[in-house]
């Protein structure tokens, strides 16, 4: 499951960087492997419990052995579905797959009353909201940067970038720091009140401002004083935003791979199915296992979906790629801070479409987009059906 996850989801973070030629495919795969692994190992345990106890009520599984079999089936079925989608180059959602598998096997093993329909409906709403929000954010950000930071065809392009872009970057980093200080699943720094949260969030702003201004001066030293000339600055910045998406993707989506393993570990440790998994700590070896699987998937089949998202939906420049990655990272980070498992694939696709629409609808390949939407729609029922069939066969053979 982790292998398939890495193979498919690497496109979420580095498709725009490859599509805009900020990075070669080989370098994108290498950097993505490192950064995604770090996100998975350092923050990957935050959402795993939410998946296994949020969708289905574990306590309603009366038979511990059948619960373990159900979790193993989820891994096998969803991993197979994502791998087959990756081989065909389709960017499907591993979050969709795991949710569909968990829902299907829970109904098959313990009945319809095991499903927490309230939580499931909220997750489904987030799947619709995330591409819309990322698309709107990407579109708006491109218009904002083109108009106020890069500017028109005058002779002050480099001056505008040097003056205004560092402010934008400083505010962005402070906002991200503020999100990370909240008492949520992604709270790296715990702040006790709003004043201390604000103080912590402000700390990186002057550092980012000074550092970004110095770097921009270096990068634009030999650039032409035109909108096209300053693209090289965004090429470097885009590598940073792609890494941010890769880190948040590893932190969020590794739960899709390790949550069933974590559930099996907990019930085996306690000798039975618990009401809640939230208080349990995920062992480091499970996080590492998920991280290694993701890295192997990235290095083996990662180029398949990168080509689809990065090159075939719309043409991506460096400044647009920067806006795409920034929008995806923002949506995923905010959703994760609220404890909502979103689809990074949906957010990335929505942001890329938003970028394409900013230059006109004729620049978006709607035919391919339609195929991707169909793949999204069939993911949940397909994953659920495959899981139920495998579970029933294994249950008949074993019990």
Q: What is the pLDDT of residues 178-228, one digit of tens each?
A: 766 654 444 444 445 566 666 777 888 899 999 999 998 888 887 787 777
Contact between 212 and 165 (Cβ < 8 Å): yes
Q: pLDDT-based confidence at 337, cuts 50/70/90? A: low
pLDDT, residue 254, reads 76
Q: Is the pLDDT of residue 85 over 50?
A: yes
**Domain layout of the chain by residue ranges:** 2-151+227-398
Rounded to the nearest integer, the mean pLDDT of the chain is 80
Cα distance between residue 309 and residue 200, in whole Å? 36
CB 242: neighbour CB atoms within 10 A? 29
Tokens of 217: 């001066």
Cα distance between residue 43 and residue 30, in whole Å? 20
pLDDT mean over 312-331: 81
Cα distance between residue 323 and residue 242, in whole Å? 10
* pTM for the full predicted model: 0.78
- Give the bridge partners for 115, in sequence order: 56
- For 333-355, letters b (16+ CB in 10 Å) and e give bbbbbeebbbbbbbbbbbbbbbb
- HEC per residue, 100-165: HHHHHHHHHHHCHHHECHHHHHHHHHHHHHHHHHHHHHHHHHHHHHHHHHHCCCCCCHHHHHHHHH
Cα distance between residue 80 and residue 311, in whole Å? 26
Give the C-alpha distances (Å, rounded to integers) separating 192 from 172, 196, 358.
Answer: 22, 7, 41
SS3 56: strand
Lowest-confidence region among 9-23, 68-82, 140-154: 9-23
Contact between 252 and 210 (Cβ < 8 Å): no
């Amino acid at each position: 499951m982790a292998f398939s996850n890495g193979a498919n989801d690497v496109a979420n973070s580095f498709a725009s960087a490859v599509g805009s030629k900020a990075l070669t495919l080989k370098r994108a795969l290498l950097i993505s492997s490192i950064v995604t692994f770090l996100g998975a190992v350092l923050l990957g345990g935050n959402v795993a419990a939410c998946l296994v106890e949020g969708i289905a009520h574990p306590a309603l599984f009366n038979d511990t052995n059948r619960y373990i079999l159900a979790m193993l089936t989820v891994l096998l079925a969803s991993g197979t579905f994502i791998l087959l989608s990756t081989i065909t180059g389709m960017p499907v959602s591993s979050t969709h797959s795991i949710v569909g598998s968990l829902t299907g096997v829970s109904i098959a093993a313990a009945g319809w009353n095991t499903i927490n329909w309230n939580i499931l409906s909220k997750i489904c709403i987030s799947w619709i909201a995330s591409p819309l929000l990322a698309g709107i954010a990407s579109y708006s950000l491109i218009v904002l940067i083109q108009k106020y930071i890069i500017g028109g065809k005058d002779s002050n392009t480099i001056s505008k970038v040097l003056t205004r872009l560092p402010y934008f970057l400083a505010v962005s980093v402070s906002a991200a720091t503020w999100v990370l200080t909240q008492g949520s699943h992604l709270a790296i720094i715990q702040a006790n009140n709003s004043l201390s949260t604000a103080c912590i969030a402000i700390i990186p702003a002057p550092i980012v401002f000074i550092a970004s201004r110095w770097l921009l001066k270096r990068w634009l030293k030999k650039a032409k004083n035109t909108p096209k000339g300053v693209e090289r600055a965004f090429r470097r910045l885009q590598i940073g935003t792609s890494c941010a998406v890769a880190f948040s993707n590893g932190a969020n989506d590794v739960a899709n791979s390790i949550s069933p393993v974590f559930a099996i570990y907990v019930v085996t440790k306690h000798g039975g199915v618990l009401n809640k998994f939230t208080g349990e700590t995920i062992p480091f070896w499970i996080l590492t296992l998920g991280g290694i699987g993701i890295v192997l998937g990235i290095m083996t089949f990662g180029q398949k979906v990168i080509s689809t998202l990065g090159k075939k939906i719309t043409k991506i420049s460096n400044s647009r790629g920067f806006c795409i990655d920034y929008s995806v990272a923002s949506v995923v980070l905010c959703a994760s801070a609220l404890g909502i498992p979103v689809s990074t694939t949906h957010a990335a696709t929505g942001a890329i479409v938003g970028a394409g629409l900013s230059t006109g609808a004729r620049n978006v390949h709607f035919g391919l987009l339609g195929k991707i939407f169909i793949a999204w729609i069939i993911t949940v029922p397909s994953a659920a059906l495959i899981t139920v069939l495998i579970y029933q066969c294994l249950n008949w053979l074993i019990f």
